[in-house]
Amino acid sequence: MKTVYDFTVKDMDGKDVSLADYHGKVLLIVNTATGCGFTPHYDPLEAMYAEFRDKGFEILDFPCNQFANQAPGTDKEISDFCAINFGTEFPQFTKIDVNGENADPLFVYLATEKPFEGFGRGLKNAALNKFAEMNNKVFGDKAYIKWNFTKFLVDREGKVIARFEPTVDMEDVKKAVAAAL
């Protein structure tokens, strides 16, 4: 059975990193953007990381510019922005595509394991759904991720156990992380 440990990704310096290096840890894998309305999620993400990293928790941050060009900078610019504005210390990887023909295989796997089930109810969620639908028409059946700050929770054995759309309250994400630990 395939797990996240079967994947290799690129770090900020372009070097291969096997996700098997994270075996035994609870992971929150996130596609991010620096110019998104959800960019403030970096604050609660960093707070979670500070609180739980000594208990075997890691956040893996993958910048992506496929949603309204909200991550246009270089890897270094994105990394500097996150460190300066949010004090992030969790691992950040090179910018990737999460949708389309060039989608990173890790995100194809994650989205296949936990497919999109909607943004939820409410006006904000309905508005985001319209933006996502317009954006994702370009990718057709390869629109795996619907927007920035989609989060996947992975257990200590590398199995994807939850998907959180960016509209999910970060306290709910934190509760799920704590339960997985």
Tens of pLDDT, residue by residue over 89-121, are 999 999 999 999 999 999 999 999 999 887 777
pTM of model > 0.75:
yes
Q: Which domains does the chain have, with CATH numbers?
A: 4-180 (3.40.30.10)
Q: Assign 31 to helix, strand or coil.
A: strand
- Which residue type is seen at 64? C
Comparing 5-14, 84-93, 147-156, the range with the smallest average pLDDT is 84-93
Active site residues: 36
CA dist 120 → 124, 151, 165, 172 (Å): 9, 15, 9, 14
Mean pLDDT of all residues in 33-40: 83
What's the pLDDT band for 49 if we cut at 50, 70, 90?
Answer: very high
